[in-house]
Structure 1
């Protein structure tokens, strides 16, 4: 009996197939032509594009070359061992290029603002527990995301953090003191704004989870939605518009940037 394919593997295969079909179409190449370039049949190419057949590493390399994908398909290969899933890799790639980043976090400090010790403590709380090598790789990837603050031009980053995330003691009192001080230091940068959403504001529209929006340009924005074990980049204009309004409403409920830094300092 063949081994059962996990939902994550199925999702990765469908993501690969979707990208393969998109790049083949952009290249004006037929399935038959791509099959000849990769040593496979038209039917096999079609099955891979539908996510019904897992591509071999050899097929992935040849398809990447034939479509001039510059490594894009190889990075999406379902058999690759990753420290983070493909859907998170896609978001991180977009995040690094965004002009404006809007993020609301109700449970934890945003990854872009996490100190090294805080990040290690959060990663260490994963369940099932991560192996040491895997945990280290996840940690390094998370810290690498913060390099965008050194980018020229630096993106505008707007964070709203729920009071609960600030009060949740991760790793002990001293670690949290340093984490909160780190947020205050980061907020001194001219293109970084931090606001706190206090408990006293009561119910609000984002109580169902985090909210992350990216402005890639003046004309292109997207939403990143994540659930346990899955994530999705959403470009639908209606959804993006609703989320932009939602973030604006959260900003109106939150303390002002100056009040927020005073609040964080008081903790």
Structure 2
């Protein structure tokens, strides 16, 4: 989906969702003209959703339940969740997103922004509202929904070990203002209560630092093989060469030893929260 487009491109995910919506409507014995007013959208809007040319709003699911019943809403809800996991993701990020969904271990070092899996909604909105070229309101809503849906990994994969190392500077930046930063700090502290989530902060002053080559993402596959990932301006690269992945694992291991431990990280986050 290009930033200068008012309507999304027709993708396989959108077409699949549209086909599910049409099948449920047909099964309910309703034409588009009969169905549209009952779910409080125009006939044109419903037609575009069924054709895969319009992102469905989140309000569609409960409205469909009112008209077609709970079983239909559950089916459509499952299709919606699948759609939102992919539709709002940049094309160059989707291969890594697929690896994330199956990983048994995920390691993340970020020096640009708080990792997407840990961002609360106000922070996510700030990120996309500041995006250049500017996004439309509909595009922002799609991006926000996709990122929130992606975060379900933290709860849906309790046996996956998530490790995050983030730079203290990202917290000191106060992106979005004091209100957003406060919600971010509260959210991070909540995530640290999860048994499968480890978060460490890299302090501002550190005489030795293994992350000077930039961000790192690492995933252990179900076959217990490791894959690396890095990204830049509108691009990304999957790193599969065993020698290169081994180097990344060594650097990440050193980063964990250099960053603050659990108790110190919790103490710092609480201190920063109290100072707002």
- Which of the five TM-score ranges fits, normalised by the shorter chain? 0.5 to 0.7
* Structure 1, unpaired ranges of 5+: 1-80
Q: CA RMSD in A?
A: 1.6
- Secondary structure at the counterpart of residue 109 of structure 1: coil
Partner of 1:187: 192
Which residue of the other structure, out of 95, 107, 111, is the alignment partner of 2:116? 111
Residues 152 and 164 of structure 1: CA distance in aligned 2, closer, same or farther (over 3 Å): closer
Alignment match, 2:159: 154
Asked whether the 8 Å contact 2:162–2:198 carries over to 1, the reply is yes
Give the TM-score, by structure 1 length.
0.67
Q: Which residue of 2 aligns with 1:123?
A: 128
1:99 matches 2:104: yes
Query: Which position in structure 1 is the counterpart of 2:269?
Result: 264
Cα distance, 1:202 vs structure 2: 3.6
Cross-structure match for 1:87: 92
Checking the alignment, whether the CA contact within 8 Å between 1:225 and 1:231 is kept in structure 2 is yes
What does 1:95-244 correspond to in 2, within 5 Å?
95-202=100-207, 204-217=209-222, 219-244=224-249
What secondary structure does 1:169 align onto? Answer: coil
Q: Which runs of 4+ in 1 moved over 4 A?
A: none
Separation (CA, whole Å) in 1 of partners of 2:87 and 2:189: 33
- Paired with 1:251 and 1:158, the residues of 2 have a C-alpha distance of 9
Distance in 1 (CA, whole Å) between partners of 2:135 and 2:157 is 35
> Hey, what does 2:251 align to over in structure 1?
246
Between the two proteins, the alignment pairs up a number of residues equal to 187
Structure 2 stretches of 5 or more lacking a match? Answer: 1-85
| Pairwise CA distance, 1:128 | 1.0
Q: Helix, strand or coil: the match of 2:268? A: helix
